Amino acid sequence: MKQDLVKKIIFLKRALDDMEHEIGLSSLSRVEKNVYLAAQASKSQDGLVQTKQILKHSFTQKMSRPTFFRALKSIEARGLLSYADDKKAGLFTVV
């Protein structure tokens, strides 16, 4: 039974890796992926998300603040997030 579960985990991991590669996330670190996916999960219908919303997400709960903000800056530099047009501090558009 344990072997069956391990095989399923391996299958899911490969499928996840393939999907991440397909949408261009494979070059991101684990931390960057978690921040980006937390932003995607937390964004509003118009694609906006606040930093505090990303920080509260379960994907980012165990990160230190410096690690979180380095990852946020990195994914912003890669064009996956951008500062919202109104330049309100901590408000991003998720790409």
pLDDT digits (tens, 9 = 90+) for 6-16: 999 999 999 99
pLDDT digits (tens, 9 = 90+) for 32-45: 999 999 999 999 99
The answer to whether residue 17 scores a pLDDT higher than 80 is yes
pTM: 0.88
pLDDT digits (tens, 9 = 90+) for 52-87: 999 999 999 999 999 999 999 999 999 999 988 766
What token pair was written down for 28? 């991101």
Specify the fold of 29-94: Arc Repressor Mutant, subunit A (1.10.10)
